[in-house]
Amino acid sequence: MSLEKNIIIHWFRQDLRLCDNPSLFEAAKQGVVLPIYILDDDNPGLYQMGGASRWWLYRSLQELNRSLNGNLVIHNGDPKKILLNLVSENKIKSVFWNRCYEPWRIRRDKEIKKLLEAQNIKTKSFNGSLLWEPWDALKKDGAPYKVFTPYYRKGCLNEVSPRKPLGKPRNLNLYVELVNGLPIDNLKLLPTINWHEKLEPYWRIGETNAQKTFADFKDNCLNNYKKNRNYPALSSVSRLSPHLHFGEISPNQIWYDIKIKKETDSINHFLSEIGWREFSHNLLYHFPDLPYNNLQDKFDRFPWLENEDYLRCWQTGQTGYPLVDAGMRELWETGYMHNRLRMVVASFLVKNLLLHWHHGEKWFWDCLLDADLANNSASWQWVAGCGADAAPYFRIFNPCIQGQKFDPDGSYTKRFVPELKSMPNKYLFNPWEAPDAILQKADVLLGKDYPMPIVNLKLSRLRALEAFMSMK
């Protein structure tokens, strides 16, 4: 008599790692694991994965498949149908996964749970990507926090400590009998135009590389993180955001690894940034309209402009404001933009150009390797002033002053705007004010080699403040 195997599907989603993967760990403990990934373009609606993220996913799946000795089973389509087929064809009794928090995924997963349980298939979901579940970090009266500091201090730090990270599953027995899947290439994740090749030198992808990136950051940058994190020319931030988004590393691994060190201002600051990630997910969970609607209703009356030319100049880094253009070109060149620059370019779009934050959020969604529905929409609402704990609308970044302050020797700006590489620092961030002799010496003909500013800073600032007053 042959004993029937207990085959459990572990459905990989935004947890593309083997270590500290609660669902995979539990599945491995209980039986033989069938590891699957499903590319779902059917359910996300407007939020299908963007171009840059698809490239990252392609490379990350390759790495994950390698670590599973080529046994990752890949599918493309609606997970409801695919999972129902898989369980019935392979006599599977359980399906496990780690939770995701995008509203469309929550809706879909609830439906899948119902469908599978109706077939007597056991389902179980785990927390694999947040330190604190959004439904646990609530105010005393049960309402969600809308302001970061009390959320983080009272809702998180004063509450139960996050789950300790797990190791790799012991005895991971994989189900290697014939289950038809697709080769990764068939997912067609790579764009037809080869723009993604330029991203390759900037990134090391996959679980092992996420750990290496984290280790490098701890060795070289963490000590001075608080002081240096605002200077884009210094390699002073972790660049862990795409690894965290795709779950190649868990926040728990980061949290506990750093927590054991002697507390410093830099350590606390870095952990609070991980806290901002938690806060954004908390907002998205409790306010699922976050990507679509202003959290503050009064912004529904804001007199946004429609101007295709402005938008195109902003997207392509041709606004005539060198710091803004450097940020936008960094994004295009590397799939990433430093946080200081994200705030500067976002403020420029919504305040100086008066274009709706949705335009910026969409462009970031397509171009960022770390495009993340919670972080992106919460951050755009924060900069636009319409969010929960938002920057006041009247705080309008001046890109010239920001440049002088945060890129004092101009090296970041000159790297991404090489047409200005010979401009003296005094005029680097405001080249239109430079005397002709200086422009000639720097070999810059404004309007030809580099654009004239598309808006006047002072006037556009006043226009923004008037627009803000008009909606009161």
Ligand X SMILES: Cc1cc2nc3c(=O)[nH]c(=O)nc-3n(C[C@H](O)[C@H](O)[C@H](O)COP(=O)(O)OP(=O)(O)OC[C@H]3O[C@@H](n4cnc5c(N)ncnc54)[C@H](O)[C@@H]3O)c2cc1C
Binding mask 129-168 for ligand X (x = CB under 6 A): ----------------------------------------
Tell me how far the alpha carbon of residue 97 is from its chain's centroid: 21
- 274 or 388: whose CB is closer to ligand X? 274
Residue from 267, 371, 454, 464 touching ligand X (CB under 6 A): that is 371
Applying CB under 6 A, among 112, 156, 346, 417 the residue interacting with ligand X is 346
Shortest Cβ 328–ligand X spacing (Å)? 12
Cross-strand bridge partners of residue 10 = 35, 96
Residue 33 found at the interface with ligand X (CB under 6 A)? no
375 forms part of the interface with ligand X (CB under 6 A): yes
Binders in 97-136 for ligand X, by CB under 6 A: none
| Stretch of residues binding ligand X (CB under 6 A), selected from 132-140, 231-239, 259-267, 399-407 | 231-239
Q: With respect to ligand X, which residue has the nearer C-beta, 337 or 400? A: 337
463-470 long-range contacts, CB within 8 A, separation 24+: 463/354, 464/351, 464/352, 464/354, 464/393, 464/396, 465/394, 465/396, 467/302, 467/303, 467/354, 468/302, 468/385, 468/393, 468/394, 470/301, 470/303
Binding test (CB under 6 A) with ligand X, winner from 39, 49, 172, 240: 240
**352 lies in the binding site for ligand X (CB under 6 A):** no
Q: Does 380 interact with ligand X (rule: CB under 6 A)?
A: yes
Q: How far is the CB of 347 from ligand X (least distance, A)?
A: 9
Q: Binding segment for ligand X among 26-34, 130-138, 163-171, 237-245 (CB under 6 A)?
A: 237-245
181 or 291, CB closer to ligand X? 291
Interaction between residue 379 and ligand X (CB under 6 A): yes
Instruction: Please report whether residue 238 would count as binding ligand X according to CB under 6 A.
Output: yes
For residues 19 and 49, which CB has a smaller minimum distance to ligand X in the complex? 49
Kindly state the smallest distance separating residue 129's Cβ from ligand X, in Å. Answer: 11
Q: Between 22 and 242, name the residue whose CB sits nearer to ligand X.
A: 242
CB of 191 to ligand X, least distance (A): 19
372 near ligand X (CB under 6 A) = yes
**Contact set for ligand X, span 261-280 (CB under 6 A):** 273-274, 276-277, 280
Provide, rounded to whole angstroms, the least separation between the CB of residue 192 and ligand X: 24
**Residue 196 touching ligand X (CB under 6 A):** no
Of the candidates 146, 229, 329, 359, which one interacts with ligand X according to CB under 6 A? 229
Interface region with ligand X, contact rule CB under 6 A, candidates 131-139, 238-246, 448-456, 462-470: 238-246
| Least Å from the CB of residue 47 to ligand X | 11
32: Cβ–Cβ under 8 A, 6 or more apart, which residues?
5, 6, 7, 8, 173, 174, 175
Identify which of residues 241 and 266 has a Cβ nearer to ligand X in the complex: 241
Based on CB atoms, which residue is closest to ligand X, 155 or 181? 155
210 touches ligand X by CB under 6 A: no
Stretch that binds ligand X, among 108-116, 372-380, 426-434, 443-451 (CB under 6 A): 372-380
20 is a contact residue toward ligand X (CB under 6 A): no
Complex with ligand X: residue 372 or 419, whichever CB lies closer: 372
- In terms of phi and psi (left: phi > 0; alpha: psi -120 to 50; beta: otherwise), the region of 463 is alpha
Least distance from ligand X to the Cβ atom of residue 395, Å: 13
Rounded Cα gap, residues 34 and 67, in angstroms: 14
Residues that bind ligand X (CB under 6 A): 229, 237-241, 244-245, 273-274, 276-277, 280, 339, 342-343, 346, 364, 368, 370-372, 375-376, 379-380, 383
